Each structure stands twice: as C-alpha cells, then as structure tokens.
Amino acid sequence: MGDHRGERKALVPKELPPEAAQHLLMQIKAQASTEFGSIQQHQGTLARAQEPQDHAWALRVMAEELRHGYQMVHLLTSADWSPVTDTKAADMVEEILSMQTGSHVLAAFNLEYDSFGDSIAFAAFIDRVGKYQLTMQKVNAYAPMAASMPPMLPGSRDVRRRTRRADEREVRPQGHGQP
C-alpha cells in the first residue's frame, strides 16, 4: 500500500521503520482496548435484555469481542517489542486489561450504556465502522496484524445480522403484532 506497495510484509516489529512500529503498537493497544471496552459496555446491559434471545445475542457479542481482544493480546505477547518500547508485553497486557469504562483509548468505549437499545445502536453503527477498519487492516504492513483480521470479520458480520433482528424487536411498538 502506498510507497511500500508490493514489498514483503514485516514479520517482526523491528523490520518496520521505527515510526511505523510505534504507530502499529499504538494501533494494537487501541484495538485491544476497544474489544475489552465493548465487553464492559455490553455486560452492563445483560440484565436489561427483554427476551432470552436478546440476552444470548449480547453474550455472543461479548464472546466475539473477547476473541478479538485475545487476538490483539497475542500480537503483543508473541513478538519482541523491545525495539519499539521499554514496556514489557506482560505490562502492556496488564495495562489494557485493567482499563475500565472511562479509561479506554477511544472515547466511544468510555460510554456507559443506559439501555439494551444502546447495545443495538453500538452494533448498528460502531461495529459497522469496525468492519471497515478491520477490512483496511488486512493490508497492514505487519504480517501478523494483517493475518489476524480475516478471522475477526466473520464475527462482525454475525453481530450485524443479529443486530437487525434485535433492532426489529426493540423498535416494534408493544401490542402491535409481528413485523
């Protein structure tokens, strides 16, 4: 992509230009933060799910986000980041896992959900943006990051499909029959 189109992808962080490696590390940490932040947001609405299917849907979203977060943690722990940072991988992971709503990297993941409808709105909008972001990362110059994206995308499609179903139930006025 860009000036480096056609070049071999880096297999380890030290193969990247220093500035690119710094940006990559920030990206991975931010992505991990969003995945775990999303779990925290959805967890707060589980008790508000009106239907067992909605409860199961929220748990499915949380499971997908956990898998995605684990993929980012794997990127942090399976490579030598010492050319990029003095922080040990275990400390980076601890920092990410200790974040709570209000301290995540991206503001969208620092919001408390007020209702189960917030979970639906998340999946309809924020997760849709995430789909495009993940698709763009498939061409990342760091091979392990690029390779970690395709497994994340089927989960995003499933979340969007389930969101449409939940959204239909959430917006249907009470007592007005089936759509």
Q: What is the pLDDT of residues 30-76, one digit of tens each?
A: 999 999 999 999 898 888 888 899 889 889 889 999 999 999 999 99
Please indicate whether residue 123 or residue 140 has the higher confidence score (pLDDT).
140
Q: What is the 3-state secondary structure (H, E, C) of the chain?
A: CHHHCCCCCECCHHHCCHHHHHHHHHHHHHHHHHHHHHHHHHHCCHHHCCCHHHHHHHHHHHHHHHHHHHHHHHHHHCCCCCCCCCCCHHHHHHHHHCCCCCCCCCHHHHCCCCCHHHHHHHHHHHHHHHHHHHHHHCCCCEHHHHHHHHHHHHHHHHHHHHHHHHHHHHHCCCCCCCC
Please indicate whether residue 74 or residue 166 has the higher confidence score (pLDDT).
74
- Asked if residue 32 is part of any domain, the answer here is yes
- Asked if residue 179 is part of any domain, the answer here is no
Number of independent structural domains in the chain: 1
Single pTM value for the model: 0.81
- Residue 121 has what pLDDT? 82
Domain containing 109 — which CATH number?
A: 1.20.1260.10
- Asked if residue 178 is part of any domain, the answer here is no
